[in-house]
A and B are shown apart, each in its own frame.
Chain A
Amino acid sequence: DAKTTQPPSMDCAEGRAANLPCNHSTISGNEYVYWYRQIHSQGPQYIIHGLKNNETNEMASLIITEDRKSSTLILPHATLRDTAVYYCIVRVDTGGGNKLTFGTGTQLKVEL
């Protein structure tokens, strides 16, 4: 299983871009990188995922390095409601169930 490493916490000013890094140096060629977030006391929420190419949706952008050993989640204009724990996950697929292995994530605090 590919492990991920994230900083435990980050701060961001409201309206600025939040760039959350993730290292996954042991990722396999067919493993996807997922990002979820968990706002306090709520269930995790899917944000975005990718394999090789950069991805963008209405919530965020995902930049994956060419060697796939690291990635960055970008929230282009962070708001106070983006304060949450952000989890970078590499999917573990054993052929039955898309099991997600959650680490401890990055606590992002968006401030005025």
Chain B
Amino acid sequence: NAGVTQTPKFRVLKTGQSMTLLCAQDMNHEYMYWYRQDPGMGLRLIHYSVGEGTTAKGEVPDGYNVSRLKKQNFLLGLESAAPSQTSVYFCASSLGQFSETQYFGPGTRLLVL
């Protein structure tokens, strides 16, 4: 079991460029989440998904889009990157609505110049 994996590990973008972060889990979890973490702050929820084909907004969704076409994958897209999106992005998954535990990936470090 690889658990939760994230691709890429690190990326540098110029302002206005687009990119997609990939999260994959092999635990057959229903729920998946994208968080961002900025220096000195806790994690903030961007978007989440309660199942294949569904997505919902979290605390800080502006500037991001997501898709969950397959149960095991959750994609986070930045259509036009801004320096304010420089952050560490973490993906997580959990078994279902009544599952207490979220399993996190190793993170993607994104720098927008």
Write the residues of chain A forming the contact surface with B, with a CB cutoff of 8 angstroms.
32, 34, 41-46, 49, 87, 91, 96-105
> Number of B residues whose C-beta is below 8 Å from A?
29
User: Are A43 and B100 in contact (CB-based, < 8 A)?
Assistant: no
Partner of B92, one of A43, A49, A87: A43
Which of chain B's residues have a CB closer than 8 A to the CB of A105? 42
Which of chain B's residues have a CB closer than 8 A to the CB of A91? 100
Give 27 pairs: A residue, B residue, CB < 8 Å, sorted on A.
A42-B107, A43-B104, A43-B105, A44-B43, A44-B102, A45-B104, A46-B101, A49-B101, A87-B42, A96-B50, A97-B48, A97-B49, A97-B50, A97-B97, A98-B94, A98-B99, A98-B102, A100-B45, A100-B102, A101-B42, A101-B59, A102-B35, A102-B42, A102-B44, A104-B40, A104-B41, A104-B42
Which of chain A's residues have a CB closer than 8 A to the CB of B97? 96-98
Interface of B, secondary structure class, is strand
A102 to B104, CA, bound (A): 13
User: Are A102 and B43 in contact (CB-based, < 8 A)?
Assistant: yes
A44 to B88, CA, bound (A): 12
